[in-house]
Amino acid sequence: MTLPTIIWRALIGMGFTLGTPAAWRAAEQIPGPGVQCVLRLSAAESLAAITAPFLLTKLVSKLPRALPRILAWVGVIALVVAVVMSIVNWSDVDPFHGQSMTGWRVLCGGCYLMAALWAIALSITLVGYLLHHPSSGRSLCS
C-alpha cells in the first residue's frame, strides 16, 4: 500500500515532473534541496513498511507485557495524526492544488490515498494483533 507513494516521490526526486506544475516544483526546490526531502520521505516510508511486520511478529512478543500496548497506542495515535494533518493541510501536500483535473492529479491523489489507507490498515493490524496475541495479554486496555 505504500509503494505507490514511494514510487511517486522517488520519481519526482529523480527529476520526472509527473505533470506537477513548475510553480510547485520551484516552491519545493525541486530540482535542488527539495530532492533530498522527497527521497528521504520515500526511504522512511519504505523502512516503516518493511519493518512493521518484523516488529509486529518478533519484537513485540519479547517486550514486557504492558509495553506493546503502549507502543501500539502511540503508533496508532501518530498515524492518525499524520493522516488527519495531511487531510487538513491537503492544499500544501497536493502539488496540483488549484489546478484543473488531469490524469496526473488523479494518479497523485490515488498514491496518497493508498498511503493514508496503509496507515489505517497498519493501525487496525496493530490493535488486532495485540488483542489476540497471547504474550501481549487478552485486552489491549487492561
Tens digit of pLDDT for each residue in 14-28? 889 999 999 889 988
- Residue-wise pLDDT tens digits, 86-129: 888 888 888 998 888 999 999 999 988 888 888 788 778 777 77
In sequence order, the 6+-apart residues with CB closer than 8 A to the CB of 102 are 19, 96
Q: Is 15 left (phi over 0), alpha (psi -120 to 50) or beta?
A: left
Tell me the C-alpha distance between 23 and 34, whole Å.
13
More confident site: 132 or 5: 5
pLDDT at 57 over 80: no
Q: 83 vs 10, 78, 102, 112, CA distance in Å?
A: 20, 9, 24, 10
Q: What rounded mean pLDDT belongs to the chain?
A: 80
Q: How confident is the model at residue 138 (pLDDT cuts 50, 70, 90)?
A: very low
| Of 21 and 62, more confident | 21
Q: Is the pTM of this model over 0.75?
A: no
What is residue 140's three-state secondary structure? Answer: coil
Most confidently modeled range among 48-62, 104-118, 123-137: 104-118
> How many angstroms separate the CA atoms of 131 and 140, rounded?
6
C-alpha cell at 14: 529523480
56 CB-near residues (< 8 Å, 6+ apart): 125, 126, 129
Rounded distance, CA 128 to CA 93, Å? 31
**Confidence at residue 1, expressed as pLDDT on a 0 to 100 scale:** 82
Query: Which among 116, 109, 1, 113 is positioned nearest to 49, based on CA atoms?
Result: 1
Query: Residue for cell digits 525541486?
Result: 30
